Amino acid sequence: MAEIWRTSNGISWEPVVQYGFLRTNGYIWRLTVYGNKLIAGTMNPFTGCEIWMSETGDFGTFEQMNIHGMDGAMSLPANLGAFIDRDDGPIVPWADQYGVRTVANYQGNLIVGTASWGDWVDRMLSQQTDGNWHDLSGYVGCEIWSTDGTLWTPPETVEVNKTVWDPVAQSWVHELEAPLGDTVRFRCEIKNIGLEDLTNIVVWDFLSHSLEYADDATIEPTCNVEDVLGFGTLLKWDLSSYTLTPGNSIVIKYDANVIEKEHKEVNFVFARGKCGSYWDYEWDYAVINPTLIPTVTSSNVTGVETDSFDLSEDVYCYAKNLPANRWVDIYVVKNNDTWEEGTVLIDVINGIETVKTQPDRSLQNTLIWESTLMQGSYDIVIDTNQNGKWNEGEPIDSLATTGFDAVPEFTTIAIPVAAILGLLFFFNRRKQRK
């Protein structure tokens, strides 16, 4: 995000603005002096240009003096695909005035000329989409604004909070580790913290492609679900039938399945509304970290990891990091060290165990094979999605080695060995007698 630095000798520099004023300001597009104030005009294609001023130029002294996008207007209906030269994807409202393009100090007034991008997108898309003219420029164009420099403070209107349910901590959190195959529950709260009614509310929630919407949101009307060019899913709730009085909230909860595990996922929610005559927006995000690796471990009756069992022993197993509160099937299969996606599971004792995982994602010590065992080498598989096949991410004890061995007991091997030793002893004695 954009920064402003200053120096008094051209050698040593210090920052006076960092992180784009903590908003989505990508450029400081214009700097000027007006009165005794330092004025910074930004480019902010997401929510509209901003103008900040400081009377000293010191770090932390800048204050916003305009409404984002000059009047908060976000009426440009742009396809998300426009960002990658395509004319598809969900339509999102974009800031009409995205940048402070030029400034002048004229007759005591600060004059600002803005930039708008409808025409640019039209021309870009026209080239890329067989001359199709989308007429975004028909909605908006650049503007000139003038101010006497009175500081304008944006009112507080919307507050957005996005969290995800942590089944272990039993609380709503902003970041969660979740295993592949898990179902996570999101909560989006949109609160009116302003002094007037909040209307025209629209909520956009972006799920990246590692997450799959479970179509169970706790609000009416249902959301519009759109694919975002293979990057994920955009859930859009048009809540214009709601009027949110000051201090009140709308809460949307919904489930999503974790279907990929490669990336840390940042899931955004944006809410826009009109408070009195002022259009405002706010956003928040929750992070899903699909890094917990599920495991299953062969164990004995006391829950101690065991890899070798007498034929007269019972075999147990325990597991960790499974999807919470989920019915799963446990298979004991012949040892396999070259597992492939979709391998059919054949239980050696024809009696799979179907059990429910704990809220903390564990599976307590569970009896999976009652004696007498058959001699051999085995794997234990937890079929998390109960489809009778092994799927990527389902735990195995163990993938590339033997899960556990069932071996004859000491007494049954001991007798033949003692007999052989006895015979050798017998023959030796006979030899000596000769």
| Among 121-129, 177-185, 354-362, 402-410, the segment contacting Ca ion (CB under 5 A) | 402-410
Task: Supply the minimum distance, in Å, between the C-beta of residue 384 and Ca ion.
Answer: 6
CA 309 to chain centre: 43
From residue 119 to residue 148, the character string flagging contacts with Ca ion as x (rule: CB under 5 A) and all else as - is ------------------------------
Residue type, 198: L
387 binds Ca ion (CB under 5 A): yes
How many residues interact with Ca ion (rule CB under 5 A)? 13
Task: Supply the minimum distance, in Å, between the C-beta of residue 394 and Ca ion.
Answer: 5
Q: Could you tell me if 133 and 126 are in contact, meaning their C-beta atoms sit under 8 angstroms apart?
A: yes
Task: Supply the minimum distance, in Å, between the C-beta of residue 59 and Ca ion.
Answer: 56
CB closer to Ca ion out of 41 and 403:
403
Q: Give the residue closest to Ca ion by C-beta.
A: 298
CB closer to Ca ion out of 103 and 296:
296
Residues 365 and 363: their CA atoms lie apart, in Å, by 7
Residues 66 and 52: their CA atoms lie apart, in Å, by 8
Which pair of tokens denotes residue 19? 């992180």
Q: Could you tell me if 356 and 338 are in contact, meaning their C-beta atoms sit under 8 angstroms apart?
A: no
Cβ partners under 8 Å of residue 172, min gap 6: 163, 164, 165, 166, 187
| Among 63-71, 143-151, 349-357, 399-407, the segment contacting Ca ion (CB under 5 A) | 399-407
Residues 53 and 56: their CA atoms lie apart, in Å, by 9
Angle, CA 53 vertex, CA 48 and CA 57 arms, to 5°: 135
- The CA-atom distances, in angstroms, between 153 and each of 97, 107, 298, 379 are 19, 24, 64, 66
CB closer to Ca ion out of 347 and 397:
397
Q: Could you tell me if 296 and 380 are in contact, meaning their C-beta atoms sit under 8 angstroms apart?
A: yes
Task: Supply the minimum distance, in Å, between the C-beta of residue 315 and Ca ion.
Answer: 10
User: What are the backbone angles phi and psi of residue 257, rounded to the nearest 5°?
Assistant: -95, 135
CB closer to Ca ion out of 14 and 337:
337
Binding residues among 297-356 for Ca ion as defined by CB under 5 A: 298, 307, 335, 337
Burial class for 391, CB neighbours closer than 10 Å (0-12, 13-18, 19+): middle
385 binds Ca ion (CB under 5 A): yes
| Among 21-29, 70-78, 322-330, 404-412, the segment contacting Ca ion (CB under 5 A) | 404-412
CB closer to Ca ion out of 305 and 409:
305
CB closer to Ca ion out of 100 and 352:
352
CB closer to Ca ion out of 325 and 391:
391
3 binds Ca ion (CB under 5 A): no
- Strands 308-310 and 404-407, by their bridges, are parallel
Contacts with Ca ion, residue ranges (CB under 5 A): 298, 307, 335, 337, 379, 383, 385, 387, 389, 391, 397, 403-404
